[in-house]
Copies of this chain bind each other. A is one copy, B any other.
Amino acid sequence: MSANAQALRLSTTQPDFEARFAQRLHWSAEQDDAIEQRVKSILADVRTRGDAAVLDCTARFDGLHAASMAALELKQSDFKTAFDSLPPAQQHALQEAAARVRRYHEWQKRQGGETATYRDEDGTLLGQKVTPLDRVGIYVPGGKAAYPSSLIMNAVPAHVAGVGEIIMVVPTPARGSIAAGGSNTPPALDGQAQATIDSVAKGERNPLVLAAAHVAGVTRAFTIGGAQAVAALAYGTATIPKVDKITGPGNAYVASAKKHVFGTVGIDMIAGPSEILVLADGSTPPDWVAMDLFSQAEHDELAQAILLCPDAAYIDAVQAAIDRLLPEMPRADIIAKSLNGRGALIHTRSMEEACALSNRIAPEHLEVSSRDPHRWEPLLRHAGAIFLGAYTSESLGDYCAGPNHVLPTSGTARFSSPLSVYDFQKRSSLIEVSEAGAQKLGRIASVLAHGEGLQAHARAAEMRLKP
C-alpha cells in the first residue's frame, strides 16, 4: 500500500486563511441533468404502469429477472434465517445496538411530542395532538454502502414513534449485472460484505442487512432499489403499498427521486458527503485522533475530515500518526484521497477560535477531544452530533451509543436536526372556542378579515357573536 495522506495544513494567522479555508469547505450538490431526466422517466413509468414498470426496471438495472412481484418480496423467515446464520458475536452486537438505540429514542420521545392541551381564561381549549405516521418506507442501499446499522437507525425510531407499518426496499443486484456508472442502482456488493444466501431471485443479498431487519423489525420488504423503488413507495402499486414518508440513504438516483416525490410523501433529508471535525486541545493520544479522522475518510473520497487545534506540535504528532497508521488500513486508498482532497489540519490561535470556526462549518460529526469538553460545548452552536471527550469516538456513536447516526451534512446542521422519533410523528392543532371565547375572538378576527378583504372570514366570525 503506497497511499500517502497529507492533509492540507492551514493556520488561522495566515493572511490568505479565509480564502483557502472557504475553498476547502466548498462542496456543491450539482444536479446531474442526465440523472434527473432518467429519474423523471422512471417515476412516470412506475406511476403509470405500477408493478409492471417495477419488474422491468429491476430486470434492466439490477439484472434480476423476476416472473412476478411475489418473487421480489422477502419473508420474515428470510430475516430469521439470515439472523440465525450469523456468528453469535454478530447476533449479540446487532441486538445490543438495536436495544441501545431503542432506549435513547424512547427517552427522546418522552422529551416532547405528547398530545397536550390547555384552556385559556375564556374557556377556549388549545393544544396539539401528536400521532405517528401510518406507514413509512425505508430505503436500504444494496451496494458498497450496505449498512445494517443504517437500517437500525431508520427503523427503530419509526417503531418507537408507533408507526404501524415499515416497508423496506433493498436492491439485490445480480452479480456483475451492473453497467459501470450507467445504472440507476449502486454497483454490486464487493468482497466479504456480500454472500448469496438465497438464490430464488438470483440477486445478491446481504445477510447482515437481512439480520438487521429481523432485529429492528420490518413489516414487509422488497428486493428492489433505485428510482423505481422510491416511485413504488411514493405512488403505491398493486403489490407495494403507498407510504407516507420515505427515509434512508441512497445513491444519486435515489436522492434525485426522493427530491422529486417530496410533497407527495415526506422525505428525511438529502445527504451530502459525510464529515468529521475534531476540536483538539492536545490531550488525546494522537493515534486516536488520526484514526477518528480515518474513520470518516474511509467512507468516501468526498468525505471531509478536519482537525482544529491550537497546538502546532500536536498537529505534527497527528500527521505523524497518520503517516504511521495509514499503511495498515485496508481502505488506505480511499482514506488518502479523502484526506488529500478535502481534509485539513488547522492551527488556531485558541480553542475559542476553534469553536467559532466550527460553528461556521456546522459539521455533521463534531468531536470535542479535550480533557475539559464541557468547557467548550456551550460555545458550539451548530453540529449534527457532538462527541465529548477522548473516549467518545465517532464510531461508537455510529453504531451503538444510542442517538441517531443519520445527521445533517454540508452545513445543514445550521437549520436541521438528526433523524428522530419526531420525524415519524406529526402534529394536528386542536382548537375549541367556547361561546364566551367566540365573542372576544370574533371581534378581533372580524377586524383583521375585513382588513385583508376576506369578508366571508369576517362573516363566519360575526355570525357567532351574540346580538
Contacts and interface: CB of A to CB of B under 8 A. Distances in A.
Interface of A: 29, 89-90, 92-94, 96-97, 103-104, 107-108, 111-114, 116, 118, 120, 124-126, 128-129, 131, 133-134, 146-149, 191-193, 208, 244-245, 259, 262-263, 265-266, 270, 285, 287-288, 291-292, 294-295, 297-299, 329-331, 335, 366, 373, 377, 380-404, 407-408, 410, 412-418, 420, 422, 426-435, 437-438, 441-445, 447-449, 451-461, 463-464
A213 to B, nearest CB: 15
Given A133-B415, A382-B428, A418-B427, 18 more contacts: A89-B447, A93-B443, A93-B447, A94-B448, A111-B114, A111-B116, A126-B401, A128-B403, A259-B262, A291-B460, A295-B456, A390-B464, A396-B441, A399-B444, A399-B448, A399-B461, A401-B431, A418-B428
Contacts of A298: 454-457
A433 to B, nearest CB: 4
Contact of A395 (B108, B193, B430, B457): B457
A129, A148, A330: most-surrounded residue (chain B CB, <10 A): A129
Nearest to A335: B456
A126, A193, A412, A428: most-surrounded residue (chain B CB, <10 A): A428
A459 B394 CA distance: 11
A192 B452 CA distance: 9
A428 B386 contact: yes
B393 A451 contact: no
Contact of A400 (B125, B427, B441): B441
13 contacts: A107-B126, A128-B418, A265-B415, A294-B459, A295-B460, A384-B429, A385-B431, A388-B432, A389-B432, A392-B433, A399-B461, A404-B429, A417-B426
A209 to B, nearest CB: 10
Contact of A148 (B366, B441, B452): B452
Number of copies: 2
B403 A431 contact: yes
Nearest to A150: B452
A445 B126 contact: no
A88 to B, nearest CB: 10
A292 B430 contact: no
B111 A428 contact: no
Contacts of A384: 428-429
B445 A395 contact: yes
A89, A134, A431: most-surrounded residue (chain B CB, <10 A): A431
Contact of A331 (B377, B420, B456): B456
A33 to B, nearest CB: 11
A113 B407 CA distance: 17
Contact of A393 (B126, B392, B460): B460
A389 B436 CA distance: 13
Contact of A263 (B270, B291, B404): B270
Given A131-B381, A295-B460, A388-B431, A452 B193 contact: yes
Nearest to A193: B453
A96 B445 CA distance: 10
A193, A388, A415: most-surrounded residue (chain B CB, <10 A): A415
